[in-house]
Amino acid sequence: MPGRIRIIGGSLRNSRLNVPDLPGLRPTAERVRETLFNWLAPVLDGARCLDLCAGTGALGIEALSRGAASVQFVERDAQAARALRDNLGRLKADGGRVAAVEAGAFLQGAVQPVDLVFLDPPFALGMWTGLAQQLEASGWLALPAWIYVESPRAGAPALPPNWQLHREGQAGEVRFALYRRAVPLS
């Protein structure tokens, strides 16, 4: 059965997002989002964001609600992408665009450098390292950029060496971490 989750801060505070019932769809927990956006508060205003493997879009919509200039949502599942578009339209969340395409394929397209990336792929697919390498190598990340990574608690994924851990936490079986991109090592 479809569900609903709540935006927790900003101009859309307490708005509800419709969540389709899809296998593997795992919205980021409210308390994790609250912690993350407390960490991001100093850098969010006017930020250009990329929500890869967006799912419900809760992270990107939360960013728009709290002052991000724009969010490019990327979601490969057509039903989830449609629900995300519907939520953005219903909430009149300007600045959000949805691409219904696989994340790796999207990153091979026209590069638009961003200040903040939400990297939270389906856990079963193990896509963190490949997507992180694409982000780093292709010019998608501004300097400096912030990268949020959500992964299983059992172990942190291999990420580019110039992504410096800023803060991290755990909630249940989930590890969540915020990285800052430094000048790449040559």
- To the nearest whole number, what is the mean pLDDT of the chain? 91
Mean pLDDT, residues 165-184 = 91
> Hey, how many other C-beta atoms are within 10 angstroms of the C-beta on 77?
20
Which tokens hold the place of 31?
A: 């308390």
Q: In the predicted model, what is the mean pLDDT of residues 153-180?
A: 92
Domain spans in the chain, listed from the N-terminal domain onward: 3-21+28-181
Q: Is the pTM of this model over 0.85?
A: yes
Going across the sheet that includes 174-181, the strands are 96-99, 70-74, 48-52, 114-119, 141-152, 174-181, 163-171
Sequence letter at residue 129: T
What is the Cα–Cα distance from 175 to 64, expressed in whole angstroms? 24
CB 93 within 8 A of CB 73: no
Task: Kindly state the tokens that stand for 25.
Answer: 């769809």
Cα 29 from Cα 86, distance rounded (Å): 21
**DSSP conformation class of 156:** P
Domain 3-21+28-181: which topology?
Rossmann fold (3.40.50)
Dump pLDDT digits (tens) for 104-132: 999 999 999 999 999 998 877 778 999 99
- For residues 72-80, average pLDDT: 95
Q: What is the pLDDT of residue 1?
A: 37
- 95 three-state secondary structure: coil
DSSP 8-state assignment for residue 64 = H
Whole-number Å distance between alpha carbons of 93 and 59:
13
Q: What is the chain's alpha carbon radius of gyration, rounded to the nearest angstrom?
A: 15
Give 26-36 pLDDT, tens digit per residue: 778 889 999 99
